[in-house]
A and B are shown apart, each in its own frame.
Chain A
Amino acid sequence: MLPLQEALYEDDLGAMTAAAGAVAQLFADPRARGVLQGHLPLLQALARLLREDAKKSTELCASLLAAFFELSRLPAAHALLAQVGPRAEGRGVHRQGPGRPSRAHAAGSAALHVVVLLRYARPPPTPNPGPPALFVQLQKQVLLRPAPPRCVSPTAEPGGLPHYGTAGP
């Protein structure tokens, strides 16, 4: 674990990406996940990388997010993620100044919008099927006649419907 964590502090983006990918693979293993979630320095190192260097490389960002994604599958680790997350966001907000909304906040709202749309997406409204049949009939001034009673012939469907009208036993 220690070499992996040390590799996260390298200057080379490739080494950092490889280390983050290895950590993500470790988090994907359910046996190692429980042990790793107690390793707070590793999580803090990942959060720092996500905060500072993730914008430099798409692969590094994907590896780091994959690690946190695997960790988020554990409900017990959500408190830990929430503990690491706001710390990472809070520094960015603080740099922008307290009175002004941060750029990170404005940018994050768009991504949140995508998530909320995914969660609350409703199916598109069905096209208007047109006026009901009764309205059309009334527009045409057609007299509505009740449908004739359905007559069931004794020989219509053998064994299907009861034979009304025939003398019972």
Chain B
Amino acid sequence: MELLDLEVRRAAHWQQREGVPAAELGAKLRGGEPLAPREARLAGMLAQQEPLLHVGLGLLLNMAEADVAVEARMVKKVRDG
């Protein structure tokens, strides 16, 4: 969980550094528009994170799916902050 949050914060830092919001980049990628060098660099870095986020969230979902107590603890942690 800590690692997932680290990656989310990394992505936010990259967006701030490149000055390109991810939503705008996603809209450009969906529209098939050409990307500026900064946007292409950001897209590459975000694409590197995708497998990590996929397996990390999948792991947490698997753990929560199998045991209701684990899921309840997750919800409790989120509610307590």
The chain A residues found within 8 Å of chain B, CB to CB, are 50, 54-55, 58-59, 61-62, 65-66, 68-69, 72-73, 75, 78, 81-82, 89, 92, 104-116, 118-119
A83 to chain B, nearest CB (A): 13
* A106–B59 CA distance with the chains assembled, in angstroms: 20
| B interface majority secondary structure | helix
Residue of B nearest to A68 (CB): B59
Question: What are the interface flags for B46-60 relative to A under an 8 Å C-beta threshold, 1 for contact and 0 otherwise?
Answer: 001101100111111
| A interface majority secondary structure | helix
Residue of A nearest to B51 (CB): A62
Given A65-B3, A110-B8, A115 contacting B60 (CB threshold 8 A): yes
Whether the Cβ atoms of A66 and B81 lie closer than 8 Å is no
Q: Which of A65, A72, A89, A119 has the most CB of B within 10 A?
A: A65
Q: Number of B interface residues at 8 Å Cβ cutoff, please give it.
A: 33
The chain B residues found within 8 Å of chain A, CB to CB, are 1-9, 48-49, 51-52, 55-64, 66-67, 70-71, 74-75, 77-78, 80-81
Q: Which of A55, A65, A89 lies in contact with B55, CB distance below 8 A?
A: A65
Q: Which of A54, A66, A73, A111 lies in contact with B1, CB distance below 8 A?
A: A111
Whether the Cβ atoms of A69 and B62 lie closer than 8 Å is yes
* A75–B62 CA distance with the chains assembled, in angstroms: 9
Given A65-B55, A104-B2, A118-B57, A109 contacting B81 (CB threshold 8 A): yes
Q: Point out the residues of chain B lying under 8 angstroms from A115, CB to CB.
A: 57, 60-61, 64, 74
